[in-house]
């Protein structure tokens, strides 16, 4: 079984230059999926930055707010330039979820945020419009 054939991959936030403003990604509809992993690819960090990855949810499209129990990673260390933040949410209590890269105090570069939806209750999975090409290979 290949992972790429059993998950839905969504590019939900593009690149942002160094800054201290938090950036929110595209809404993810969780209908039919048990979980989602958000992966934030973070670039250069400036000393004293405060960078983390948070998810917000709602049962109404476009109305996301913070979860009652915060879904947020710890802040990155100043030495964590060019690393990723990973936030895995299993069985969210809301249908719609948005990732937000929290940036504060000093500059942080955002390269992108990718969402991987998993444990689908139907097949086949339709690729998201944000995926240009995909290929799966099996070694002989």
Q: What is the pLDDT of residue 109?
A: 98
Torsion of CA 80, 84, 89, 94, to 10 degrees: 100
Q: What is the pLDDT of residue 124?
A: 84
Q: What is the pLDDT of residue 9?
A: 97
Q: What is the pLDDT of residue 69?
A: 73
Q: What is the pLDDT of residue 129?
A: 95
CATH for 3-120, options being 3.10.450.50, 2.60.120.380, 2.30.40.10, 3.40.630.30:
2.60.120.380
5: helix, coil or strand? helix
- Helices (H) and strands (E) counted in the chain, each on its own, are 0, 10
Rounded CA-CA distance 49/52 in Å is 10
Q: How many CB atoms lie within 10 A of CB 65?
A: 10
The burial of 61, by beta-carbon neighbours within 10 Å (0-12 exposed, 13-18 middle, 19 or more buried), is given as exposed
> Mean pLDDT by 10-residue block, N- to C-terminus, for the chain (140 residues)?
90 98 96 97 98 93 79 96 97 94 97 97 90 90
Strand bridging mode 108-120 / 33-45: antiparallel
> The whole model's pTM is what?
0.94
């Amino acid at each position: 079984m290949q992972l790429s054939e059993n998950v839905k991959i969504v590019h939900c936030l593009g690149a942002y230059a160094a800054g201290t403003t938090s950036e929110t990604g595209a809404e993810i509809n969780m209908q039919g999926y048990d979980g989602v992993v958000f992966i934030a690819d973070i670039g250069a960090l400036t000393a004293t930055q405060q960078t983390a990855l948070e998810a917000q949810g709602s049962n109404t499209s476009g109305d996301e707010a913070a979860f009652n129990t915060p879904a947020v990673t710890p802040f990155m260390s100043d030495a964590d330039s060019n690393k990723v933040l990973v936030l895995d949410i299993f069985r969210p209590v809301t249908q719609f979820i948005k990732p937000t890269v929290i940036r504060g105090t000093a500059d942080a570069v955002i390269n992108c945020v990718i969402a991987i939806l998993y444990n689908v209750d139907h097949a086949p999975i339709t690729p998201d419009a944000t995926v240009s090409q995909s290929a799966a290979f099996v070694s002989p």
